[in-house]
Amino acid sequence: MVRFTVLASGSKGNCTVLSGGRTRILVDAGLSCRELFRRMKMAGEEPAALNAIVITHEHQDHVNGLAVTARKLGIPVYFTEATHRAWMRWLSPRRQMSYAQWLEMIRKQAAERQAEPAAQEDDLQVDPDEADVENSVPSAASTSSDPDLDPASDPAGGRPPSLKDEPTWLPAIEYFQAGQPFSIGDICISPFTIPHDAADPVGFVFSSEGVRLGFATDLGYIPPNVREQLRDLDLLLLESNHDLEMLRDGPYPWSVKQRVLSRVGHLSNDAASEFLAADYDGQAAYIILGHLSENNNLPELARVAAERALLGRASLLANRLLLAAQHEPLSAISF
Ligand SMILES: [Zn+2]
Ligand SMILES: [Zn+2]
């Protein structure tokens, strides 16, 4: 059985559990570990059964609980290499040191780990020529202050370094690239590039047991490569972030409004609807609208826009419209 459970969706945290065959993965870890486990239990999912975490991009609402959750469960994290680097930079306390000092610290940590025979970890070196492209600057304290991590209970039996000393340490790191499908156990994953202001953001098509699930949030618009991917799906999770008028008249500073509206920002209700009306093939049993803004959208506005776009396509068997929420899990969808 294939099962898809959105635990949280929105700018305060994104997390989805996907099961296929004997494999269970978490897509993004934007809730604190404690809240993530709480919601998994609410949704009837067992945290200890997770096999891996797959990350779309390094924005805080997608990685907030990543280090703690991966350590606690002792499971690998799948990133693109650029996303992994951006995540490490975000977590490293470089605001108190120069970039050169920070690089030196990362290298020293990597060398120390290599010197330990037990440590088998990917090389954490950073290209010193890499441009400094940090754009969403959250507080690095949020993860390091999370009280959930208890190294003594590490299921792998190892002793990971403390979160405070090495906030970027993970039990295992696997790299993937947009355009190159890969598998985790019984789940096939096709990552594709999406236009968003992160280091190397991706959407996914997951397939397992002949069921195909599309995952596209955090994108400024829907370019042809994304349209191509979002075909022949059984389920589509699509961003419907903001109502244009609410955003324009709303409380955000102009610079933030411009960012959200840009080609690397977020999809409006109108943009999601345009896709559903003009480009979507109408095949999916479920369409889930996600990443709704709490300030610049209302669930009913998003729903009405999508319903209008799907008019004539809705039936008992296809295009059932659901809205993912920020503060509670959506009921599991099974195939
Ligand atoms: Zn996001
Ligand atoms: Zn984002």
Give residue-wise pLDDT tens across range 248-292: 999 999 999 999 999 999 999 999 999 999 999 999 999 999 999
Distance 235 CA to ligand 1 centre (A): 20
For residue 194, the model assigns a pLDDT of: 98
Report strand pairing: 320-323 vs 286-290.
Answer: parallel
Q: Which ligand is nearest to the CA of 14?
A: 1
Distance 311 CA to ligand 2 centre (A): 30
The whole-angstrom separation of Cα 203 and Cα 201 is 7
pLDDT range class, residue 112, cuts 50, 70, 90: confident
Name 162's Cβ contacts closer than 8 Å, sequence gap at least 6: 151
Distance 317 CA to ligand 1 centre (A): 30
Structure token pair of residue 13? 């945290």
Distance 32 CA to ligand 1 centre (A): 15
Over 90: is that where the pLDDT of 115 sits?
Answer: no
Q: Between 101 and 307, where is the model more confident?
A: 307
For residue 155, the model assigns a pLDDT of: 44
Q: Which ligand is nearest to the CA of 58?
A: 2
For residue 37, the model assigns a pLDDT of: 98
Chain position carrying tokens 């009913």: 300
Region of poorest pLDDT, from 43-57, 105-119, 243-257, 279-293: 105-119
Chain position carrying tokens 């776009």: 309
Tell me the per-residue pLDDT of 126-170, one tens digit each, with 9 for 90 and over: 222 222 323 333 333 333 333 344 434 444 455 778 887 788 999
Distance 21 CA to ligand 2 centre (A): 30
| Three-state helix/strand/coil letters over the chain | CCEEEEEECCCCCCEEEEEECCEEEEECCCCCHHHHHHHHHHCCCCHHHCCEEECCCCCHHHHCCHHHHHHHHCCCEEECHHHHHHHHHHHCCHHHCCHHHHHHHHHHHHHHHHHCCCCCCCCCCCCCCCCCCCCCCCCCHHHHCCCCCCHHHCCCCCCCCCCCCCCCCCCCEEECCCCCCEEECCEEEEEEECCCCCCCCEEEEEEECCEEEEEECCCCCCCHHHHHHCCCCCEEEEECCECHHHHHHCCCCHHHHHHHHCCCCCCEHHHHHHHHHHHCCCCCCEEEEECCCCCCCCHHHHHHHHHHHHCCCCCCCCCEEEECCCCCCCCCEEC
Distance 279 CA to ligand 2 centre (A): 24
Q: Between 137 and 117, where is the model more confident?
A: 117
The whole-angstrom separation of Cα 241 and Cα 232 is 24
Q: Which ligand is nearest to the CA of 62?
A: 1
Average pLDDT value for the chain: 86
Distance 321 CA to ligand 1 centre (A): 21
Distance 116 CA to ligand 2 centre (A): 36
Distance 312 CA to ligand 2 centre (A): 33
For residue 311, the model assigns a pLDDT of: 87
Dihedral sign for Cα 246, 250, 253, 256, please.
negative
Distance 11 CA to ligand 1 centre (A): 5
Cβ of 324: how many Cβ atoms within 10 Å? 25
Give, to the nearest 10 degrees, the angle between helix 33-42 and helix 66-73. Answer: 70
Distance 293 CA to ligand 1 centre (A): 10
For residue 129, the model assigns a pLDDT of: 28
Distance 265 CA to ligand 1 centre (A): 10
For residue 116, the model assigns a pLDDT of: 58
For residue 147, the model assigns a pLDDT of: 36
C-alpha to C-alpha distances, 231 to 23, 235, 259, 271, 320, nearest whole angstrom? 24, 10, 28, 17, 16
Chain position carrying tokens 């022949």: 232
| 108-122, 143-157, 244-258, 301-315: which is most confident | 244-258
**Listed residue (79, 86, 52) closest to 176, CA to CA:** 79
Q: Between 70 and 118, where is the model more confident?
A: 70
Distance 88 CA to ligand 2 centre (A): 16
Distance 291 CA to ligand 2 centre (A): 10
pTM above 0.85, yes or no: no
Distance 198 CA to ligand 2 centre (A): 7
Distance 220 CA to ligand 2 centre (A): 10
The whole-angstrom separation of Cα 26 and Cα 2 is 14
For residue 165, the model assigns a pLDDT of: 79
Query: Which residues are near ligand 1, the ion (C-beta closer than 5 Å)?
Result: 61, 218
Chain position carrying tokens 């996914």: 204
The whole-angstrom separation of Cα 169 and Cα 174 is 13
Over 70: is that where the pLDDT of 314 sits?
Answer: no
